[in-house]
A and B are shown apart, each in its own frame.
Chain A
Amino acid sequence: MRLFFLAFVAAILPGQALAANQVALDNNVFVERVSTDASGKQRVLLEEPKVVVPGDKLVFVLNYRNASAQPADKFVITNPMPAAVSFADAGDTRPFVSVDGGKTWGLLPEMTVRTSDGSSRAAQPADVTHVRWAFQKPIPAGGTGKLMFRGIVK
């Protein structure tokens, strides 16, 4: 039993180790909290939350780094939306989105959703199930970058 377990771990580790050495993807989630100061000005603070409540605005930040000595081609980052988070926007990063669980992809304004009565309607941000960025040019060795999108706790 123990031997089998070790063998299993050994079988899955090498691939991960190799990948981790080449491209790193770091995921941070912040909550936007709006506070009003004494003069009545509103300030938006980004906090790293441990807990959230429905309606909180979350900012998902993905930092990537190509740590390998080779350019990383066909570079694609995919973030499935957590089920309890409704997609809001992705700033100016223009990602592909999927509204059908990752089967088809496109820019949000081009996507449609089939309704229960058989017709279809334009997809809304809340329909998004996955967010994906596909890079046309390779990420050079040592290259880094940052992507973001916003969501709201359902």
Chain B
Amino acid sequence: MMNAPVGGAMHQYRIPAISTLALAVALALPLQAEAAGTRAGSTISNTASASYDTGGGTQTVDSNQVDLRVDELLDVTVDSSDPADVPTTPGATAQLLTFSVTNNGNGEESFALSTVANGGGDDYDPAVTQIYIDNGDGVFDANTDTLYTPGANDPVLDPDESVTIFVLSTTPGGVADGDRGTVSLVAASRTGTGAPGTSFAGQGEGGGDAVVGSTGADGQDQGAYVVSAATVSLVKSAVIVDPFGGSEPVPGATITYTIVATVAGSGSVNGLAITDNIPADTSYVAGSITLGGAAQTDAADADAGDYNGTRINVALGTVAGGQTRTVTFRTTID
């Protein structure tokens, strides 16, 4: 180099205005602002200009123009949208996991979706039944969202565009409380996948090549279900008080039955009811049902207990794991 170029502040005022030709080139370039990068198929053009004075006034010269075509970069990411493991129960169907799929490439691309439910690292394999493509509201609704059929309606995403995907699974019946089952959603670029840098000639948007980006052109993320089950155990006991102050089962003796319902597990049981037939050769003592020590009327009314002539019934409703309910009633021996 004959002369070191410099950028001193005092030099600023000597600089002639940028040549109109160079400015025109700058304005003619397409504006690209997407985070995913310059759109595939566009052209990057570079031209420099020089101005100088060889004694006859300021003159300007432009360099040659170099044009580079931007190829399509294939990149996709999948993210689980569920903030925590999704609770499920043994045998439950249509259990929902939510994911988002984002095209991180710079061209329009369609993506094949698939799931992996046997990836290991969990306690059971959920049975994936359907994949749905969200209609844009982010809420699953089988009537308005689109059932996904591989190859038939692969989601097509613009650069930077995301779509919400719903995965529905059935929880096997044999799972235990606290078991975890994971499902991964995989989105793979339809143009192709592979090691970063793998090129698919002529298959890029705009007629150029498609080049696999850092994601390998396929992405996946895992969602998880956790089984929240509850079991009910009933323990029934009887205390006999005979008319003579003893505890012999003689006619006229009163039997007090106590039924303790214990709910165990991390879930809860719904619609729990305790029903007990009045044994033969005994008579129900009217108004003797209690729940948690509180008397219940015999009529089928607002309180939980009732007696219909042959059996007592106490409706306990929803009971969470770790709780107990105690029911008592009395009969006399005929």
**Interface, chain A (partner B; CB < 8 A):** 15-16, 18-20, 22-29, 49-55, 58, 60, 62, 64, 66, 68, 70-80, 82-85, 93-96, 101-102, 105-107, 110, 129-130, 132-137, 139-140, 143-147, 153-154
Task: Bits for B32-75, please: 1 = Cβ < 8 Å to A, else 0.
Answer: 10001110001011111111111100111111111011111100
B106: A residues at CB distance < 8 A: 53-54
- The smallest beta-carbon distance between B140 and chain A, in angstroms, is 34
Which of B1, B30, B50 lies in contact with A25, CB distance below 8 A?
B50
- The smallest beta-carbon distance between B34 and chain A, in angstroms, is 8
Complex alpha-carbon distance, A66 and B51, angstroms: 11
A72: B residues at CB distance < 8 A: 52-54
Given A52-B44, A107-B7, also A83-B30 (CB < 8 A) = yes
A26: B residues at CB distance < 8 A: 63-64
Does B9 have its Cβ within 8 Å of any Cβ on chain A?
yes
Given A51-B208, A73-B53, A74-B16, also A145-B32 (CB < 8 A) = no
- The smallest beta-carbon distance between A133 and chain B, in angstroms, is 4
- The segment from B20-28, B124-132, B165-173, B255-263 that touches chain A is B20-28
Contact B15 A134 (CB under 8 A): yes
Contact A95 B52 (CB under 8 A): no
Q: Which 3 A-B pairs have the closest CB atoms?
A: A54-B37, A27-B63, A72-B52
User: What is the number of residues of chain B that contact chain A, defined by CB distance less than 8 Å?
Assistant: 59
Complex alpha-carbon distance, A139 and B6, angstroms: 13
- The smallest beta-carbon distance between A134 and chain B, in angstroms, is 5
Does B3 have its Cβ within 8 Å of any Cβ on chain A?
yes
Does B29 have its Cβ within 8 Å of any Cβ on chain A?
yes
Contact B49 A78 (CB under 8 A): yes
A129: B residues at CB distance < 8 A: 26
- 10 interchain pairs (CB within 8 A)? A16-B61, A52-B44, A68-B54, A74-B58, A76-B51, A83-B31, A84-B44, A106-B9, A130-B26, A153-B37
A85: nearest chain-B partner, CB-CB: B44
- The smallest beta-carbon distance between B194 and chain A, in angstroms, is 14
Given A132-B15, A136-B8, A136-B11, also A83-B32 (CB < 8 A) = yes
Given A28-B66, A54-B37, A84-B32, also A143-B46 (CB < 8 A) = no
A21: nearest chain-B partner, CB-CB: B61
B45: nearest chain-A partner, CB-CB: A82
Complex alpha-carbon distance, A83 and B31, angstroms: 6
Does B306 have its Cβ within 8 Å of any Cβ on chain A?
no
Given A27-B66, A49-B68, A50-B68, also A83-B29 (CB < 8 A) = yes
Contact A82 B64 (CB under 8 A): no
A24: B residues at CB distance < 8 A: 61
Given A26-B63, A136-B11, also A93-B5 (CB < 8 A) = yes
Contact A54 B38 (CB under 8 A): yes
Complex alpha-carbon distance, A136 and B9, angstroms: 12
B68: A residues at CB distance < 8 A: 29, 49-52, 58
Complex alpha-carbon distance, A84 and B33, angstroms: 8
| Chain B, range 73-128, C-beta contacts under 8 Å to A | 73, 106
Contact A54 B70 (CB under 8 A): yes
B50: A residues at CB distance < 8 A: 23, 25, 64, 75-78
Given A25-B50, A68-B54, A146-B1, also A18-B59 (CB < 8 A) = yes
- The smallest beta-carbon distance between A85 and chain B, in angstroms, is 6
Which of A70, A79, A105, A135 lies in contact with B3, CB distance below 8 A?
A135
Does B181 have its Cβ within 8 Å of any Cβ on chain A?
no
- The smallest beta-carbon distance between B217 and chain A, in angstroms, is 12
Contact A76 B63 (CB under 8 A): no
